[in-house]
Amino acid sequence: MEKLKNKIRIIGPNCIGTFVPNELDMLFLDRKKLKRPSEGSIGFITHSGAVGSALLDMASNEGVGISKFASIGNRIDVDEVDLLEYLGKDVETRCIVLYLESTERGSELINVAKKIKKPIIALKAGKTEKGGEAVVSHTGALAGSGNIYSTAFRQAGIIETNNIEDIFDCAKALSTQPVLKGKKIAILTNGGGLGIITTDLAIDNGLEIAELSKETSKALKKVLPSYASPNNPVDITGDADTARYEKAIEILMKDKEIDGVICITLFQTPTLEDDIIEVLKDSKMYGKPFIVCATGGEYTFERAKKLERFGVPVYSTPQRAVKAMRCLLDYGKVLKR
């Protein structure tokens, strides 16, 4: 850790550096072309400057906040294990993201990761043979077998993904939500079709659609119109207003048989006013995972960003929302060990 103290602010290609929003002109990149994300709680280590900078740009657009960013390229001195250890102790970092092409310190990586009491998400590039060859031309390092990495990640309690979209999708959920203690979720929606798509995807991703108890169904029936569905997925229909959402959320979040809720909110419907943001952000008080899915365009995107500033993760498609919920289950299993 000593060597990090001296180097952590050296900025440049293939060097490491902390990312301090609006303070340092990181790397050589043009600020007009490449935006910087806001301050946040995700620590990000990358072996590729291009992946790193493109993802920072993406993060800035999606409102994802970064605590520290380190692009370590050819790792002439400090490597991913040093940085993992560093971010593990960093108070500003609540979730660590690792883009990895190779490592020469596999067992140390596992040992360090095991000790860190924060979620770690990793994408290992070059897991296929052809991809591995490309790693050699990229940084000169040997990629190693993809399966070995997957096994090591599992041992170390690191959550693995192969899709860059998943990195921040999972990090957003893991840095703001409690873990999903069981598999049983409820789906709440003001769009019937989206509720059904989400149901299918949740099951395909190893989650379960909670069977609602008689009490819960009865309570829902009381507050919902007759044409709504008091079963899970709970379809509160396209004319739902904020009050209807508020009551349904309370009933579902208080049900002990439900481990978490995916709340589909089509902000575009005429009956939904901006006070829905208040209700959705207050979901925190129930202490269970609460994930919002909002599909749409500009208007929806603005509301999603607003909501995320309050620490509620919002996803543009059912697939992304379900994957994020699945991450919370996976990290729950890691913590149980």
Chain residues 115-144 in contact with a second copy, contact rule CB under 8 A: 123, 125-128, 130-131, 133-135, 137-139
At closest approach, how far in Å is the CB of 170 from a second copy? 14
Candidates 53-61, 176-184, 243-251, 283-291 — which segment interacts with a second copy by CB under 8 A?
A: 53-61
H or E stretch including 240?
none
The correct pick among 176, 190, 216, 283 for binding a second copy (CB under 8 A) is 190
In angstroms, how far is the first alpha carbon of the chain from the final one?
Answer: 27
Tell which residue, 233, 239, 230, has the closest CA to residue 208: 233
Task: Please answer whether residues 63 and 42 qualify as being in contact, where contact means their C-beta atoms are separated by less than 8 angstroms.
Answer: no
Sheet of 120-124, strands arranged across? 66-71, 39-46, 95-100, 120-124, 159-160
Query: What is the total count of residues that contact a second copy (CB under 8 A)?
Result: 77
By CB under 8 A, the residues from 11 to 50 that bind a second copy are: 28-30, 32-35, 46-50
**If binding is defined by CB under 8 A, does position 270 make contact with a second copy?**
yes
> Does residue 145 interact with a second copy by CB under 8 A?
no
Q: Distance of CA 323 to CAs 8, 168, 277, Å?
A: 33, 11, 23
Q: Is 242 in the site for a second copy (CB under 8 A)?
A: no
**Judged by CB under 8 A, does residue 216 bind a second copy?**
no
In whole angstroms, the minimum distance from the beta carbon of 50 to a second copy comes to 3
Which of residues 200 and 278 has its CB atom nearest to a second copy in the complex? 200
Whole-number minimum distance, CB 174 to a second copy, in Å? 19
CB of 165 to a second copy, least distance (A): 5
Q: Does 214 bind a second copy (CB under 8 A)?
A: no
Among 25, 39, 104, 204, binds a second copy (CB under 8 A): 204
DSSP E strands, 101-242: 120-124, 159-160, 184-189, 208-209, 234-235
> For a second copy, which stretch binds (CB under 8 A), given 1-9, 231-239, 241-249, 325-333?
231-239
CA distance 291 to 297: 19
With CB under 8 A as the contact rule, the residue among 20, 141, 164, 223 that binds a second copy is 164
Find the binder of a second copy among 6, 9, 39, 61 (CB under 8 A). 61
Question: Rounded to whole angstroms, how far apart are CA atoms 188 and 153?
Answer: 33
CA gap 9, 16 in Å, rounded: 7
> What does DSSP assign to residue 283?
G
Which residue's CB is nearer to a second copy, number 178 or number 192?
192
- Report if residue 53 touches a second copy, rule: CB under 8 A: yes
Q: Please, are residues 141 and 135 in contact by the beta-carbon 8 Å criterion? A: yes
Exposed/middle/buried for 274, CB within 10 Å: 0-12, 13-18, 19+? exposed
Peptide bond just before 233 cis, omega within 30 deg? yes
Chain centre to alpha carbon of residue 291: 10
If you ran DSSP here, which 8-state letter would residue 160 be given? E
User: Candidates 84-92, 213-221, 247-255, 268-276 — which segment interacts with a second copy by CB under 8 A?
Assistant: 268-276
Structural element, H or E, at residue 123: strand 120-124
Stretch that binds a second copy, among 85-93, 107-115, 277-285, 311-319 (CB under 8 A): 311-319
Report if residue 165 touches a second copy, rule: CB under 8 A: yes
**What does the DSSP 8-state code read for residue 284?**
G
Q: Under the criterion CB under 8 A, does residue 295 sit at the interface with a second copy?
A: yes
Q: Does 257 bind a second copy (CB under 8 A)?
A: no
229 interacts with a second copy by CB under 8 A: yes
